[in-house]
Amino acid sequence: MTNAQKIESFLALGIALAVSSAAAAAPPRPDLTVDLAAPAVTAAGADIGPQIRLIVKNVGRAVAPGTENHPTGYMVDLTLGRDAAVPPGFRTFSPNFVEDVLLKGGRVSRTADLAPGAFRQYAVGAVIPADTPPGDYFLCATVDPGGAVPEMNEGNNTTCRRLRIQPRLNVGPQEDIPFKAK
């Protein structure tokens, strides 16, 4: 081995050790994930909130601060879109369908601290905008959409489920149909 190769090898080892030491010295962080169970089919205008199960987990190594005890704790947004790609940041509510719309009642803003390994189920509203065209959509839950909590992995904060929106049946009084009692 030449002297140049020895120096290169030594430098590479030193860099690897420095990176390893920095990683070992990094403070433990929380890591928030979200599980979502929802109906597969609904209609525009329906409130599917009572049928949704939303669970936030901390799979990290430090407490994840919630908003009950910290002004900058995590929140959860429930959105509707045509694909499973949810842009970063808080979503905006609209009574009309727009891509990645925050559903009515779809923000959990009062959240609890989560110890490492802990989880919490949250009730959430989820009114599908009445003007949503029939078709296939994704219902997505994003924990910490505002990025308030520094985490081990920021890329695992969204979970999506397919949701088919069926045409809404407008069945009202049928006064034009005669009824004869027998």
Output the domain CATH number for residue 88: 2.60.40.10
Domain that holds residue 140: 28-166
Are 157 and 142 in contact by the 8 Å Cβ rule? The answer is yes
Are 63 and 31 in contact by the 8 Å Cβ rule? The answer is no
Q: Over pLDDT 90: what percentage of the chain?
A: 76
> How many structural domains is the chain composed of?
1
Q: Is residue 95 part of a domain?
A: yes
Give backbone dihedrals phi and psi of 67, rounded to 5 degrees, phi first. Answer: -85, -15
pLDDT at 17 over 50: no
**Cα(116)–Cα(63) distance, integer angstroms:** 6
Identity at 19, one-letter amino acid code? V
- Where does the pLDDT of residue 2 fall: very low under 50, low under 70, confident under 90, or very high at 90 and above? confident
- The torsion defined by the Cα of 35, 38, 44 and 47, in degrees rounded to 10, comes to -90
Q: What is the mean pLDDT of residues 2-18?
A: 58
Q: Is residue 144 part of a domain?
A: yes
Q: Is residue 96 part of a domain?
A: yes
Of 2-6, 17-21, 25-29, 113-117, highest mean pLDDT:
113-117
Predicted TM-score of the model (pTM): 0.80
Per-residue burial over 6-24, b if 16 or more Cβ lie within 10 Å, else e, is eeeeeeeeeeeeeeeeeee
Q: What is the mean pLDDT of residues 63-73?
A: 95
